Amino acid sequence: MKALVIGASGQVGKSLVSLLRREAWEVLGTYHTRQIAGLVGLDIRDQKAVQELIRTAKPAIVFLPAALANVDYCEEHPEEARAINVEGAIHVADEACRVGAKFIFFSTDYVFDGLSGPYGEDDEPCPLSVYGGTKLRVEQYVKRLSASHLIIRTAWVFGYDGDSVNFAMQVYGRLKQGTPVVAAEDQWGNPTSVDELAEVSLDLVRKDVAGTLHVAGRDLVTRFDFARRLAAAFGFSPESVRPVATAALSQRARRPLRGGLKTEKLRCVLGRATMTLDEALRDLCERWPDPSHA
Ligand SMILES: NC(=O)c1ccc[n+]([C@@H]2O[C@H](COP(=O)([O-])OP(=O)(O)OC[C@H]3O[C@@H](n4cnc5c(N)ncnc54)[C@H](OP(=O)(O)O)[C@@H]3O)[C@@H](O)[C@H]2O)c1
């Protein structure tokens, strides 16, 4: 089977490509600005280039982790966010559909307003930010396009990736430099191991699951709790992490506060639960290249 991973230079795409290669799939991956050997360049805003790539590659599966995923940047650059996250994603969805490939779209817990989370797959979305709005638009489009496609909503993705600014890498970088970490004590979500996200995504493809599914870590925690547990896992004092209210962070985009995703449907589909945060942190430390961390 041949898979195309669009956005293979990002943390989720990278993990997907290395898993697919380990599992002996034929894989083609793309980058946009961060050139990586073995990947091909693609800007999903260029509809012709998307069509050419998919028609030539003829994949059976198209994964689309590519997006402008910086929530505050999207808020400040709404046109660019829509061009990439909505129009670009639609170019890929349309062409995947045209060649009969299964399309896997990665979406977010930020489609919800965070007034009463955690949320199930059938709860009403109501995004607070430009970013959340762009992801919801594509969800709606994909649902109309084909019943066989899969929308994976995930949250707070983390893992070891020297090129990524995911939350774990940020916390580690700051603590290593001796800079204190502040983290919101009123934002709730499910930290999700990037490697488990990739593994579960592939399991869902193998089972030919369609529709919308939440793929996220089992535990719901605050950012502050997440940061303290990361600090402890890396061998730093959890006391170096200080709590702060979201209102004091002056973030450009509004965050869903009581957010998070319910994962019961996934447990039924897979026959197992995703990792607890403690399990995911142990897994992170095993994959970390520097065993002494701190
Ligand atoms: N990270 C999270 O916590 C989180 C939470 C919920 C949902 N998600 C969703 O999960 C998906 C993957 O996130 P991630 O953390 O892997 O993001 P990421 O590390 O920022 O990677 C984004 C990828 O998109 C590519 N890209 C950006 N603009 C593009 C364009 N115009 N054309 C083609 N490719 C483009 C990037 O390429 P270059 O780097 O080469 O420019 C990169 O490969 C996203 O759809 C995101 O919305 C993420």
Mean pLDDT by 10 residues, the chain (294 residues): 97 98 97 97 98 98 98 98 98 98 98 98 98 98 96 97 93 94 98 98 98 98 98 95 96 97 98 97 91 58
108 touches ligand 1 (CB under 6 Å):
yes
pLDDT at residue 291, as a whole number: 52
- E strand map for the chain: 2-6, 26-31, 40-41, 61-64, 102-108, 150-154, 157-158, 181-184, 188-189, 192-193, 211-214, 221-222, 241-244
Query: Which residue type, as a one-letter code, is found at position 172?
Result: Y
Tell how far the Cα of 56 is from the centroid of ligand 1, in angstroms: 23
Assigned token pair, 252: 């450009």
Task: Name the 3-class secondary structure at 96.
Answer: helix
Angstrom distance (rounded) from CA 13 to CA 6: 7
- Is 73 catalytic? The answer is no
Of the listed 31, 110, 119, 131, which one is catalytic? 131
Closest residue CA from atom 19 of ligand 1:
10
134 touches ligand 1 (CB under 6 Å):
no
Output Rg (C-alpha) for the chain, integer angstroms. 18
pTM (two decimals): 0.97
Tell how far the Cα of 239 is from the centroid of ligand 1, in angstroms: 32
Rounding to the nearest 10 degrees, give the CA dihedral for residues 112, 114, 117, 121. 0
Domains, the chain, with CATH or none: 2-155+194-216+260-274 (3.40.50.720)
Q: Of the candidates 146, 140, 284, 263, which has an alpha carbon nearest to the alpha carbon of residue 208?
A: 146
pLDDT at residue 10, as a whole number: 97
Tell how far the Cα of 7 is from the centroid of ligand 1, in angstroms: 6
Closest residue CA from atom 11 of ligand 1:
65
Tokens 């719901």 -> residue: 220
68 touches ligand 1 (CB under 6 Å):
yes
Do the beta carbons of residue 29 and residue 39 sit within 8 Å? yes
pLDDT at residue 110, as a whole number: 98
